[in-house]
Amino acid sequence: MIRSIAQKEFVSTLRDRRFAVLSALVLVLLLAATLVGRASFRTLQRERQTAQGTVNEQFRNQPARHPHRVAHYGSFAFRPKSGLSLLDGGVDSFTGSAVYLEAHQQNSVNFSQAQQSGSLIRFGEMTVAFVLQLLVPLLIIFLCFGAFTQERETGTLKLLLSQGVSMRQVAWGKIAGYGQAVALVVTPALVLAAALLFTGEEFASNTDLVARLALFGLGYAVYFFLIVVGSVVVSARQSSSRTALVLLLGLWILGGIILPKATANLGATLYPTITKAQLDADVHEAAQHGIDGHDPHDKRAEALKANLLKKYGVDSEEKLPVSLAGVQMAAGEEYSAKVYQQHFAELNATYERQNRLSDWAGLLNPYQAIRPLSMGLAGSDFAHYVHFQQAAEAYRYALVQRLNGLQAGMGYGDKERRLDAATWRELPVFAYQAPAVGWALPRLLLPVAALLLWAAGLSWLGLRLISKSSVE
């Protein structure tokens, strides 16, 4: 009987002109967002690959120089776009795409799309995730608000129940029928996205991307299921279609607009971040306690010199087998790197506390559960950004210390000498490897748990409420 009810609802939905128009509009938006996302992804990815290749070649083709000149010349690290970012751009537009790598300091990631765009970008972008998270639920609301109220208003609910069918069976039948209709709208866009992804040479044999896309689709299937169940429950508990529609639209506005904004403001109030100027001032003050490799009169540098003379059993800098300046640079770099890492870690921890508050809000609002899950699977959330930031810093530190080691190995009088140009071609260039889905999943346990709790809770409590609803 449930199957018959589902088939009847599915066929009735397809014959409904309102659904045909709305679903066609949503489908067009999904397909357009997929194609635009793919074009934007390929453009940005090509630009960043070209830029990374250019700076790598420039670094390798430097003339004969002193190693510390090379350390100050530095390089750039460009963050590659993740494959699924064409479906969900996440925070990529606001976190920057490139970081300048140089001696003595750790720079933040700059050149974000938001910095180079107008203020309209702050209102959001038309991505596949935006359509799936906000517009498809709106379609579901218009599809399901009359699930029970229209049956009551036309008197067909009594006829249906007189056939020996329970209210719960009717509800499951309607949920299954509406679910098929929603799948008919969403599936073509996801199939197109998969085709665009896996026909590209860069993703042809990427099993990690397959796993991410499968989990991405599964997450949204659960999200749509609980929206359908919630809409049917509201319809069953209201006496008229108009009341059910108004209530559902109110919940959509509350969950999709008001609560996310309120949570973000609450997070920024409870865990305020310091300004960039204050961060720079704090780092500069802390760095003063370390060795200044450029100051020959620095007391800590003098102490390091004394230890070196004692270690090698000589009485003057000229007799040292290593360059004192190179050793001082390495010691200063080690200290300043720790200072930067400590301050950046504290700043990132503040952002993570703000994000965690929003993740916990997913227990109250399913939209705030699917959003971090979607970004995390797409590789465009804050955790993936921090992973790139740390990888760039690890490369910068290793490169600068290697150059300091080359300088130290030149011995006394290194400042008047240069290393051959071929030396720079032997140094490794920056190559970023994004983390696999196995790295991301433990960070997404809270959104996953919130979605599953919503789905299970609505199915259990909602169906109990429906079974006790009035037939009249």
Angstrom distance (rounded) from CA 78 to CA 392: 9
| Type of residue found at 389 | Q
Q: How are strands ordered across the β-sheet holding 105-106?
A: 75-78, 98-102, 105-106
Q: How far is CA 255 from the centre of its chain?
A: 20
Does residue 157 sit in helix, strand or coil? helix
At which residue do the structure tokens 């933040």 appear?
108
Q: Which residues contact 212 (CB under 8 A, 6 or more apart)?
A: 83, 84, 377, 378, 379, 437
The pLDDT assigned to 297 comes to: 65
Q: Which residues contact 46 (CB under 8 A, 6 or more apart)?
A: none
Q: Model pTM? A: 0.88
Contact 122, 417 (CB under 8 A): no
Angstrom distance (rounded) from CA 63 to CA 61: 6
Q: How far is CA 447 from the centre of its chain?
A: 13
Angstrom distance (rounded) from CA 397 to CA 329: 12
Contact 79, 47 (CB under 8 A): no
The pLDDT assigned to 113 comes to: 63
The pLDDT assigned to 108 comes to: 82
CA dihedral (198, 202, 207, 213) positive or negative:
negative
If residue 200 lies in a helix (H) or strand (E), which one and from where to where? none
Domain map (residue ranges) of the chain: 1-468
Report angle CA 108, 111, 116 to the nearest 5 degrees: 145
Rg (CA), the chain: 30
Phi, psi at residue 16, to the nearest 5°? Answer: -75, 120
Angstrom distance (rounded) from CA 37 to CA 156: 45
Give 355-416 as a DSSP string.
HHHHHHGGGT-THHHHHHHHHHHHT-SHHHHHHHHHHHHHHHHHHHHHHHHHHHHT-TTGGG
List the pLDDT tens digit at each of the 472 positions of the chain.
Answer: 778 888 888 888 888 888 888 888 888 888 888 888 888 888 888 999 999 999 999 999 999 999 999 999 999 999 998 888 888 988 888 888 899 999 988 888 876 665 666 555 555 677 899 999 999 999 999 989 988 888 888 888 878 788 788 888 888 999 999 999 999 888 887 888 778 777 766 555 678 888 998 999 999 999 999 999 999 999 998 888 899 999 999 999 999 999 999 999 999 999 998 887 888 888 878 877 766 666 666 778 888 888 888 988 888 888 888 998 899 899 989 988 999 999 889 999 999 999 999 999 999 999 999 999 999 999 999 999 999 999 999 999 999 999 999 999 988 888 888 899 999 999 999 989 899 999 999 999 999 999 999 999 999 998 888 887 766 6
Nearest alpha carbon to residue 408 among 392, 307, 400, 295: 400
Give 248-300 as a DSSP string.
HHHHHHIIIIIHHHHHHHHHHHHSPPPPHHHHHHHHHHHHTTS--TT-TT-HH
